[in-house]
């Protein structure tokens, strides 16, 4: 294959000015199970679809607590995400120790993004193979923020977004409804998150209290995780799968997900 000579090292530019190793790392984000995030003017909610590797295994954790005011949802290599989460937790603790206040999310996100960038410019280690959705509340303004990271080191702030396998359908759902999220209540956001997730479930499966997971942070609300029975009331509020939202799934993933290298 012609392009193969430029795609095995992170430190090599292709003749078109692309970093193929980094683009491949971004592919691994699409292999992970889906994760959605959205925010109102007061809350930020993450939803994730948990996988279990076998019948005897528990469902794999998808939402990780970073601090009282911050959590991450992951898609891609879980072990890579754990490294990043550990780093983020440390930074939060450090900030609290040094300044006596919780870490400002935007500052942490800049550091995390730079951490990603470093792996793309030195020969020492491979890029991270994971994408993060970070739900947070700025401790100073008490305003919610939703960030998305990418193995390339790009960083975005969204009103709503989704990453991982079959996440295009979730994005379509969110795009259709995001203008109503601003004033939505905390519970409505949770239902929206679950509704968006429904489309990400693979064909013969469905969204249940076992495989769904919801995390919330908000103005004056510390990190809360909703799983299992606590989720059931929200699942009961979902429109049944097969509703009209699913028909819009047509959008092709390739086109929509080509964005992270964008400059």
Partner 1 sequence: MASSGSGYDLSAATFSPDGRIFQVEYAGKAVENAGTVIGIHAKDGVVLGVAKPLYHKMIVPTTASYKRIHTVDVHAGVATTGFLPDARVLVGRAQEEAADWQEHYGSKVPPHVLADRLGHYVHYFTLHGALRPFGASCVLGGYDVDTKECGLYMLEPNGAAYKYYGVATGKGKQVAKTELEKLNLHKQDAESSMDVATAVKNVAKILILLHKENKDSDGKPMELELSWICEASKWKHAPIPKDVLTAAKEWANEQLEEEDEDDEEEEEAMEEG
Partner 2 sequence: MWGMNHHHRSSAPADPKSHTTRPIVTGASVLGVKYNGGVMLAADTLLSYGSMAKTMNASRLMEIDQTLIGASGEYSDFQAIQEMLEAKSLQMQSGLLQEREGDEPPMTARSMWNYLRVVMYHRRNKMNPLWNSVVVAGKDGATGEFFLGNVDRLGTTVEDNIMATGFGAYMGVPLLREKWRPDMDEGEARALLEDCMKVLYYRDCRAASRIQLAKVSADGVLISEPYELETSWAGSTDYIPLNTPLALP
Between 98 and 255, name the residue whose CB sits nearer to partner 2: 98
Give residues 47-106 in contact with partner 1 (rule: CB under 8 A): 106
CB-based contacts of 54: which residues, under 8 Å, 6+ apart?
Answer: none
Residue of 185, 226, 198, 239 whose CA lies nearest to 46: 226
Q: Which helix (H) or strand (E) holds 87?
A: helix 78-99
Q: Which two tokens stand for residue 27?
A: 């592919």
Q: Using the rule CB under 8 A, is 101 a contact of partner 2? A: yes
Residues 123-162, mask of contacts with partner 2 (x by CB under 8 A):
-----------------x--------------x-------
Closest distance to partner 1 from the beta carbon of 91 (Å) = 16
Among 26, 66, 174, 191, binds partner 1 (CB under 8 A): 174
Which of partner 1, partner 2, none does residue 100 bind to, with CB < 5 to 8 Å depending on kind?
Answer: partner 2
Give the C-alpha separation, 152 to 163, whole Å: 15
Burial class (CB in 10 A: 0-12, 13-18, 19+), 167: buried
Give the C-alpha separation, 49 to 36, whole Å: 9
Which of partner 2, partner 1, none does residue 140 bind to, with CB < 5 to 8 Å depending on kind?
Answer: partner 2
Residue holding tokens 């780093």? 87
Q: Using the rule CB under 8 A, is 152 a contact of partner 1? A: yes
Closest distance to partner 2 from the beta carbon of 157 (Å) = 9
Give the C-alpha separation, 58 to 43, whole Å: 29
DSSP 233: H
- The footprint of partner 2 (CB under 8 A) covers 97-101, 106-107, 109-110, 114, 140, 155
- The footprint of partner 1 (CB under 8 A) covers 2, 5-6, 9-19, 106, 109-110, 113-114, 116-117, 120-124, 145, 147, 152-161, 171, 174-175, 178, 259, 261-263
């Amino acid at each position: 294959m012609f392009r193969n000579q430029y795609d095995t090292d992170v430190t090599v530019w292709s003749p078109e000015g692309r970093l193929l190793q980094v683009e491949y790392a971004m592919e691994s984000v699409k292999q992970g199970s889906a994760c959605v995030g959205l925010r109102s003017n007061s809350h930020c909610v993450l939803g994730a679809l948990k996988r279990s590797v076998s019948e005897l295994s528990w469902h794999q954790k998808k939402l990780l607590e970073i601090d009282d005011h911050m959590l991450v949802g992951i898609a891609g290599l879980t072990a890579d995400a754990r490294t990043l989460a550990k780093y983020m937790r440390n930074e939060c603790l450090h900030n609290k120790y040094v300044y006596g206040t919780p870490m400002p999310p935007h500052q942490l996100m800049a550091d995390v993004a730079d951490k990603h960038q470093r792996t793309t410019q030195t020969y020492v280690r491979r890029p991270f193979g994971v994408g993060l959705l970070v739900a947070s509340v700025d401790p100073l303004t008490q305003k919610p923020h939703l960030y998305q990271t990418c193995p390339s080191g790009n960083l975005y702030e969204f009103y709503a977004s989704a990453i991982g396998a079959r996440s295009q359908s979730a994005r379509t759902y969110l795009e259709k409804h995001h203008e109503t999220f601003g004033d939505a209540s905390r519970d409505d956001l949770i239902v929206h998150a679950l509704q968006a997730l429904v489309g990400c479930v693979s064909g013969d499966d469905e969204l249940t209290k076992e495989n769904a997971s919801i995390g919330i942070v908000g103005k004056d609300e510390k990190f809360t995780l909703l799983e299992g029975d606590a989720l059931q009331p929200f699942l009961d509020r979902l429109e049944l799968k097969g509703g009209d939202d699913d028909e819009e799934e047509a959008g092709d993933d390739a086109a929509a997900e080509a964005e992270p290298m964008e400059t």
